[in-house]
Amino acid sequence: MAQPLLVADDVRKSFGRLTVLDGVSVGVNHGEVLGVVGPNGAGKSTLLNVFSGVTSADSGSLTFDGSDIRGVTAAARCRRGIGRSYQVPRPFSDMSVFENVLVASRFGAGLGEATARTVALEALDRTGLTARANSPAGGLRLLDRKRLELARALATQPRVVLLDEIAGGLTEHELPPLVTMIGGLRDSGVAVIWIEHVVHALLAVADRLVCLTYGKIVAEGEPSDVMASDAVQRSYLGADLDADL
């Protein structure tokens, strides 16, 4: 039976008078890819920030592997196994690709130097970046910057990885390798929460989908059913949605 790994229950978050998360309850199971769709401004990145500890929720509960993590710092959540990518990648441009990933394994995961190097090399291998290991991160093309974002998340040895629009800006032929990498993560037992506007990439790998619209989950379930639902159609009315609806 599916075991919940990372769960938010009735989470609320406001910035001043703007309610961004309005009672969100959502969880990801061990070894599951949960896709998150929703229009711009829906609160998707804020939800990932609340899970990773970058932003604190105003109320509601957050559990990871059965433990309450509300009082746990972002750094400690990372060491416990909550890894993430950012919507806007900011690698250390002057450092090499390998050094960027090493920072994640050494300081994100808190590993000793020798193990950190091994884990960093594995993360490069899994994301197809080994040939770029010694290149300056600042000179990477977009697909490799996305790979580096994933490699940095993997190097923290996550049990769940939170991906924020990692497919954005990639060309059609660059998407399949990314989808394969994310499927490979799931197959190795890592849970994934993937926010994505490039819906057909998400549909290729997601086990379950939720739609977040202005702070509320308006649809949840089997991905193609969710995309076809009235609630999702309404949320995207007038928006530039990349999917065959």
> Given candidates 7, 8, 34, 42, which one binds ligand ADP under the rule CB under 6 A?
42
Q: Does 31 bind ligand ADP (CB under 6 A)?
A: no
Catalogue the E-assigned strands of the chain. Answer: 4-15, 18-29, 33-37, 59-64, 67-68, 82-84, 160-164, 191-195, 208-213, 216-221
Indicate which of ligand ADP, Mg ion, none lies near residue 158 (CB less than 5 to 8 Å, by partner kind): none
Indicate which of ligand ADP, Mg ion, none lies near residue 104 (CB less than 5 to 8 Å, by partner kind): none
Site stretch for ligand ADP (CB under 6 A), options 35-43, 76-84, 169-177, 201-209? 35-43
Q: How far is CA 185 from CA 123, 153, 181, in A?
A: 11, 11, 6
Catalogue the E-assigned strands of 74-156. Answer: 82-84
Of residues 17 through 56, those in contact with Mg ion by CB under 5 A are: 44-45
Indicate which of Mg ion, ligand ADP, none lies near residue 43 (CB less than 5 to 8 Å, by partner kind): ligand ADP
CB of 113 to ligand ADP, least distance (A): 35
Rounded CA separation 165/87 (Å): 6
Residue 167 CA, chain-centre distance (Å), reads: 11
63: left (phi over 0), alpha (psi -120 to 50) or beta: beta
Indicate which of ligand ADP, Mg ion, none lies near residue 157 (CB less than 5 to 8 Å, by partner kind): none
Choice between 45 and 105, CB closer to Mg ion: 45
Rounded CA separation 60/74 (Å): 17
Q: Does 85 bind Mg ion (CB under 5 A)?
A: no
| x-or-dash string of contact with ligand ADP, 2-21, rule CB under 6 A | -------------x--x-x-
Cβ neighbors of 24 (< 8 A, separation 6 or more) are 8, 10, 11, 12, 43, 47, 60, 212, 215, 216, 217
> Given candidates 29, 46, 52, 235, which one binds ligand ADP under the rule CB under 6 A?
46
Q: Does 162 bind ligand ADP (CB under 6 A)?
A: no
Q: Does 92 bind ligand ADP (CB under 6 A)?
A: no
Nearest to 123 by CA among 145, 101, 144, 139: 101
CB of 19 to ligand ADP, least distance (A): 9
Residues that bind Mg ion (CB under 5 A): 44-45, 87
